[in-house]
Amino acid sequence: MKKIFWGVSILVVLISIGVFLLPAWAPKPADIAVAPVLPTSPLDATYTVDGGIVALKNGEVSYPATSSPSDQKVTTKIFGAPTMGDLDGDGDSDAALLLQESSSGSGTFYYLVAAINTGHGYQGTNAIFLGDRIAPQTVEIHGVTVVANYADRKPSEPFSAQPSVGKSLYAELRGTQLVAVPTQPPVTAIPSGKACTMEAKLCPDGSYVGRTGPNCEFSPCPGVK
């Protein structure tokens, strides 16, 4: 009888010790890998602009300006609509888009970014600076290359001058980074061998046209005869 008593007592003690130590053996929340939750739209992705984190919501975000009085804010928003294409060759639809950053100051800055479809949501990339107070035109995707077309001013012109020089920036993904790549800017070829300059003319409807034809004249503006 005593043997049974002592056996039951030892069993109870062992069970008590196990119950006491079980929480220490259980995996802690910090030990469990949790995948980050990514947005389902490029308009809600997080991008890196000039080393700072910009988390968009419905394509826009405002935050206090760090180098200005506390009552001033910087607003970053998507300019135009995202251009979709497969930038990393995995068969998913990624996005390339322009960001516009403005504040109460005179500058309006434009950046090229990409949002990569990971299969679980969109991961934003770093931003490539295009210019201040430029005239954005289109964002195109050719294979894995992103092309941002815009009009800028001549180096000698002030910011008050209307952008009239057509430019293009080419970029590709290098891992998770969007990197500008050197590509010869396209020119309009003429049968005689002459090439027109990449200038742009502002039309009444806000669009731009380039030079073409044997005499490198500006193309007619839409709706203008």
Query: Which pLDDT tens digit goes with each residue over 72-91?
Result: 789 999 999 999 999 999 99
The pLDDT, as a whole number, for residue 189 is 44
Q: Tell me the pLDDT band of 190, cut-offs 50, 70 and 90.
A: very low
Rounded average pLDDT over 141-168: 92
Tokens 């079980």 map to which residue? 22
- Provide the pLDDT for residue 216: 75
Q: Quote the pLDDT of residue 27.
A: 52
Task: Let me know: does 133 contact 115? Beta carbons within 8 Å.
Answer: no
Angle, CA 214 vertex, CA 210 and CA 215 arms, to 5°: 70
pLDDT at 133 over 60: yes
Position with higher pLDDT, 164 vs 25: 164
Q: Summarize pLDDT for 79-126 with one digit per residue, the tens.
A: 999 999 999 999 999 999 999 999 877 789 999 999 999 999 999 999
Q: What is the mean pLDDT of residues 162-180?
A: 93
Query: Which DSSP letter does residue 128 get?
Result: E
List, in order, residues 6 or more apart from 172 with CB less than 8 Å away: 87, 144, 145, 146, 178, 179, 181
Instruction: Give the pLDDT score at 83.
Output: 95
Q: Please name the helix (run of DSSP H) or strand (run of DSSP E) that holds residue 10, with its range, or none.
A: helix 2-25
> pLDDT (tens digit, 9 = 90+) per residue, 34-49?
556 899 999 999 999 9
CA distance 33 to 191: 62
pLDDT category of residue 135 using cuts at 50, 70 and 90: very high
Q: Which range has highest mean pLDDT (67-76, 102-111, 172-181)?
A: 172-181
Looking at residues 120-142, what average pLDDT do you find?
A: 94
